[in-house]
Amino acid sequence: MSHEHRLRFKTLAMVLLMVVCANTGDLMLARGMKQIGNVVISVSGLQHALWMTVQNASIWIGIAFLIGFTLCYMTAVSWADYSFVMPAGAFGYAIQTMLAIVVLHEAVSAQRWVGVTLICGGVLLVGQTKPNTTNIGVLPS
């Protein structure tokens, strides 16, 4: 396997792990914020919201997954271009649709199928480009 193929494979595998962490993290954060309710934009309102978020277990689980996402993201962009890693991460929406069908037995609309097809096509196109077009480790400070 050539260096470029190996780089492409390991970057896409890391992106997959990144997507799982990001989706789970977002889901837990949304759940936590729904439990907390509307945030009022004022000093006391923000203080109250901050206090409620640090006491909410769903928020902490969400944060743990988002730390995992950050580590995977940092690793992926240390290997490949940002413009390669970022769109590849959208593959998560295709995984969500598959999970909705297989696990939740949901009916998926034609619009969503078109969207998933576009995402997969887009990720496929991005995935065929050279993963790294800059020289790692020689960037100026």
Partner 1 sequence: MTRVFLLLVFFVLCNTGGELAMSYGVKQVGEPESFRPMALLRFVWTAMRNSWLWLALPLLAASFYSLLILFSWAPVSVVIPASASNYIVGTFGAKYLLKEDVSFKRWMGVVMVCLGVTLVLLTGKI
Q: Is 84 exposed, middle or buried (0-12, 13-18, 19+ CB in 10 A)?
A: buried
Listed in sequence order, the residues at least 6 apart from 79 whose beta carbon sits closer than 8 Å to its beta carbon are 7, 10, 11, 14, 131, 132, 136
User: Per rule CB under 8 A, is residue 2 in the interface with partner 1?
Assistant: no
Site for partner 1 in 72-101 (CB under 8 A): 73-75, 77-79, 81-84, 86-87, 90, 93, 96-97, 100
Q: How far is the CB of 1 from partner 1 (least distance, A)?
A: 18
Task: Kindly tell me which of 61 and 81 has the beta carbon lying closer to partner 1.
Answer: 81
Q: Give the CA angle between residues 33, 37, 38 to the nearest 5°.
A: 105
User: Per rule CB under 8 A, is residue 42 in the interface with partner 1?
Assistant: no
Task: Kindly tell me which of 9 and 82 has the beta carbon lying closer to partner 1.
Answer: 82
User: Per rule CB under 8 A, is residue 24 in the interface with partner 1?
Assistant: no
Is there a contact between 90 and 58 (Cβ–Cβ < 8 Å)? no
Instruction: Render 49-76 in DSSP notation, one character per residue.
Output: HHHHHHT-HHHHHHHHHHHHHHHHHHHH
**Residues contributing to the site for partner 1 (CB under 8 A):** 29-30, 33-34, 36-39, 41, 49, 53, 66, 71, 73-75, 77-79, 81-84, 86-87, 90, 93, 96-97, 100, 106, 109, 111-112, 114-130, 133-134, 136-137, 139, 141
